[in-house]
Amino acid sequence: MMGANREVDVAIVGAGFSGLYMLHKLRQQGLSAVVFERGNGVGGTWFWNRYPGARCDVESQDYSYSFSPELEQEWEWTERYPAQPEILGYLNHVADRFDLRRSIELDTEVTAATFDEEANRWSVTTGLGETLRAKYVVMATGCLSNGRVPDFDGMDSFAGEVYHTGSWPQEGVDFTGKRVGVIGTGSSGIQAIPEIAAQSEHLTVFQRTPSFSVPARNAPLDPQFLQEVKADYPRRREVARRSPTGLPFLGNQALAMDVTEEERRDTYESLWGAGGFRIGGAFADLIVNQEANDTLAAFIHSKIDEVVEDPSIAEKLKPRDYPVSTKRICVDSNYYATFNRKNVRLVDVRESPIVGFDERGLKTQAAEYEFDAVVFATGFDAMTGALLGPEINGVNGVALRDHWDAGPRTYLGLSTVGFPNLFIVAGPGSPSVLTNMVSAIEQHVEWISDHLAHVEELGLSRSEATLEAEDGWVEQVNGIADMTLFSNANSWYLGANVPGKPRVFMPYAGGFGAYRETCDAVAADGYRGFVLS
Ligand code: NAP
């Protein structure tokens, strides 16, 4: 337990992929660190998101740490796309293998962090009412950690079970014989819906915005393939480090509008057949040219028509009002086919919005629905939610919430003005959610640990981004986003899913490889844009 006057070099918030590696890295360089984790286990996203069908949309061999060749060789992934229990098992293995648990405090939520300018130390307060002093704070809190349940009228009166995909009960849920409603058709809903449909007596899906979804074509991993990957890991990881996505391949440089309709269709067919979201990178102009994007949208619409038997349902499932990839492409197993089942009904809540709940279920403007259970697959207060949850006060007592009043502002997604010695892993303004998260996390953790080593070697006590550097970075992030179609969708990338949240495109869309080069250049230039004192 924490002593009243305990002091460490680094307080890390969160024990997911980021926090675990951050702890390991800092220990290796001789700094003392403690991790605070609100869950009662490690794993972050993969600890909380246990809904039926929860599975990563990045392939197993690439959704893994690269920092330890031994770990790479000893861990055996079993499926093309790892299911939640397997990833959670992997992260628990990492925690044991690198002896991390003795520095992780579970069931401990950080509620506040206050910077003491005289001492250049942070006071970190937990929900247990204890305070710890730390020279540095690393927010390893994840991009999709704060689940959102819309505020429907009468929700408290509903007598049935209520779940959110992002905080699923550890013991699981048995829907056998139950009438279930699922609200939301993003990545989580699309994975859960086929599983719940197969188990429940009846499922009603409430869709506000249809998603573009591509088949995962998940399958057991061929041991021979895994052996080849393991033998090739150094090269594979190197390509991933330089690629725009943090994945071990470079996107196609050809333009959709430069090839014939037939060639385009062949390309899309082959990627649809291969499965997974690589179809989103089929051509280099898809994310910047509406006409090009329309060709992929039309292709996916045609696939929905092929699968869904009832043309009026197929029509409802087709996204029409935003470009492909401007909301995260979903990767599914049997999603569209689920709407051919007799026990599944699709309700378009654009046509008839949900007006509220009562004891038996929910009402739309057109009808009433009775349920034994309702599942909210309604997403997250993404990218900033977990950072703005605790009361973080920096220089002059300024609150992070106030500094980010008009939207998040960072330098490199790593640091924000007025909050010295506080670093963010995969923060807004970094490529994070537009890449393979594990690659993005490793790059940030390594950059932060190098930076702290630099500050320590110089015997200094404070590192803070300058306003000029932050302004420049914010401008660059916005400028790149403006060159794309991203702002044409009401996505969580823009905070558009949370009423009242400032509409700002939060991730850096310039590509992971280019971003890494920028971070490396900043470091090589004596940490340009930071004042070290
Ligand atoms: P999401 O993409 O934000 O989807 C939330 C869904 O709930 C949307 O369909 C949204 O409709 C709907 N919704 C929200 N409020 C509503 C309301 N008041 N009434 C009706 N519908 C409402 O959230 P998510 O599915 O949890 O996914 C979030 C992100 O997590 C993904 O984009 C992905 O990055 C990650 N994720 C990844 C995987 C994977 O690796 N396979 C799986 C799950 C999640 P609108 O679109 O109209 O707002």
- Closest by CA to 87, choosing from 58, 122, 130, 128, is 58
Give the pairing of strands 110-116 and 121-126: antiparallel
* Atom of ligand 1 minimally distant from the CA of 496: 48
- Whether the Cβ atoms of residue 490 and residue 209 lie closer than 8 Å to each other: yes
Which residues have a Cβ under 8 Å from the Cβ of 478 and sit 6 or more positions away? Answer: 504, 505
Helix (H, G, I), strand (E, B) or coil at 390: coil
Task: For a ligand 1 pocket test, name from 187, 190, 212, 365 the mutation site with the most ligand atoms within 8 angstroms of its C-beta.
Answer: 187
Report the pLDDT value the prediction gives residue 4, as an integer from 0 to 100.
Answer: 54
- Closest by CA to 204, choosing from 366, 319, 66, 412, is 366
Ligand 1 center to residue 109 CA distance, Å?
25
Q: Is 189 in the pocket of ligand 1 (CB under 6 A)?
A: yes
Identity of the amino acid at 251: G
Which two structure tokens, joined as six digits, stand for 516? 């890494």
C-alpha R_g of the chain: 23
Q: Which residue, by CA, sits nearest to atom 33 of ligand 1?
A: 187
Q: Is 57 in the pocket of ligand 1 (CB under 6 A)?
A: yes
Task: For a ligand 1 pocket test, name from 48, 317, 497, 501 the mutation site with the most ligand atoms within 8 angstroms of its C-beta.
Answer: 497
Give the pairing of strands 213-215 and 202-207: unpaired
Identity of the amino acid at 109: E
Report the pLDDT value the prediction gives residue 155, as an integer from 0 to 100.
Answer: 96
Q: Is 183 in the pocket of ligand 1 (CB under 6 A)?
A: yes
Ligand 1 center to residue 434 CA distance, Å?
15
Q: How far apart are CA 282 and CA 479, in angstroms?
A: 24
- Closest by CA to 280, choosing from 300, 259, 308, 260, is 300
Task: For a ligand 1 pocket test, name from 45, 57, 188 the mutation site with the most ligand atoms within 8 angstroms of its C-beta.
Answer: 188
Which residues are bridge partners to 131 per DSSP? 125
- Whether the Cβ atoms of residue 134 and residue 10 lie closer than 8 Å to each other: yes
Report the pLDDT value the prediction gives residue 251, as an integer from 0 to 100.
Answer: 81
List, run by run, the mean pLDDT of 10-residue segments along the chain (533 residues): 76 98 98 98 98 98 98 98 98 98 98 97 96 98 97 97 98 98 98 98 98 98 97 97 94 94 97 96 96 98 98 98 97 98 98 97 97 98 97 98 97 98 98 97 98 98 98 97 96 95 96 98 98 98
What sign for the dihedral angle of Cα 183, 184, 185, 186? negative
pLDDT in tens, 116-174: 999 999 999 999 999 999 999 999 999 999 999 999 999 999 999 999 999 999 999 99
Q: Is 319 in the pocket of ligand 1 (CB under 6 A)?
A: no
Report the pLDDT value the prediction gives residue 250, as an integer from 0 to 100.
Answer: 85
* Atom of ligand 1 minimally distant from the CA of 165: 26
